[in-house]
Amino acid sequence: MNVRKSDAFIADVERQFEWYVVNANWEIAERYLAAVETTSKLLGQHSLLGPVAGFSHPRLRDWRFMVVARPFQKHILFYESVGEDVVLRRALHGRQDLPQRLEEPPATN
């Protein structure tokens, strides 16, 4: 399957990368990006690997999720299968109010 990254997903990952650069260091930020990419490739190979998130909002109902590869497992990738594609929709820290955050555009996170 092809892996596509939505604009919201890219914005989420960029925001988290910048947070790591400012609050940790460049190396940690790069390791975060590598872990996200590893997880994304895995989903491209096994699109049904992540469980259905089970949200009630109609737009989110079919979304699945997968935790990011270690040591960033507190971060969650939300995605859906669309035809022959895995579409990565959002990338959020698990401590957030996920149903509310998923309904908002990335700029308000």
Per-residue pLDDT of the chain (109 residues; tens, 9 = 90+): 899 999 999 999 999 999 999 999 999 999 999 999 999 999 999 999 999 999 888 889 999 999 999 999 999 999 999 999 999 999 999 876 666 777 777 764 4
pTM of this prediction? 0.89
If we measure between CA atoms, which residue out of 13, 56, 15 comes closest to residue 35?
13
- Respond yes or no on whether the N-terminal peptide bond of residue 51 is cis (omega within 30° of 0): no
Report the distance separating Cα 51 and Cα 72, nearest Å: 19
